[in-house]
Amino acid sequence: MRLLIMGPPGAGKGTQAVNIAKTLNIPHISTGDIYRENMKNETPLGLEAKVFYDKGMYVPDEITNRIVEDRLTWDDAKNGFLLDGYPRTIDQVNFLDQILSKKSQKIEKVLELTIDIPVVVERLLKRAQEQGRIDDTKEVITKRLEVYASSTAPLLAEYKNRGILVQVDGMGSVSEVEEKINFALGN
Ligand code: B4P
Fold of the domain built from segment(s) 2-185: Rossmann fold (3.40.50)
Centre of ligand 1 to C-alpha 9, Å, is: 5
pLDDT score at 180: 98
Mean pLDDT of 7-32: 97
In this structure, which amino acid lies at residue 42?
E
Which residue in 71, 127, 143, 180 is the catalytic one?
Answer: 127
Task: Say whether pLDDT at 154 is over 90.
Answer: yes
| 144 catalytic residue (yes or no) | yes
Decide: residue 128, CB within 10 A, 0-12 exposed, 13-18 middle, 19+ buried. Answer: middle
Taking only the tens place, the pLDDT of each residue in 104-113 is: 999 999 999 9
Instruction: Report yes or no: 49 and 39 within 8 Å, Cβ to Cβ.
Output: yes
Residues with Cβ within 8 Å of 65's Cβ and at least 6 positions away in sequence, in order, are 91, 92, 95
pLDDT score at 187: 79
Whole-number percent of the chain with pLDDT over 90: 97
| 133 catalytic residue (yes or no) | yes
Whole-number percent of the chain with pLDDT over 70: 100
pTM score over 0.75: yes
Task: Say whether pLDDT at 1 is over 90.
Answer: yes
Instruction: Report yes or no: 132 and 28 within 8 Å, Cβ to Cβ.
Output: no
- What residue segments make up the domains of the chain, in order of their start? 2-185
Taking only the tens place, the pLDDT of each residue in 33-66 is: 999 999 999 999 999 999 999 999 999 999 999 9
Please tell me the residue having the least CA distance from ligand 1 atom 18. Answer: 32
Task: Say whether pLDDT at 138 is over 90.
Answer: yes
Mutate to test the pocket of ligand 1, among 35, 48, 133 (most ligand atoms within 8 A of CB): 35
Centre of ligand 1 to C-alpha 57, Å, is: 13
- Mean pLDDT over all residues of the chain? 97
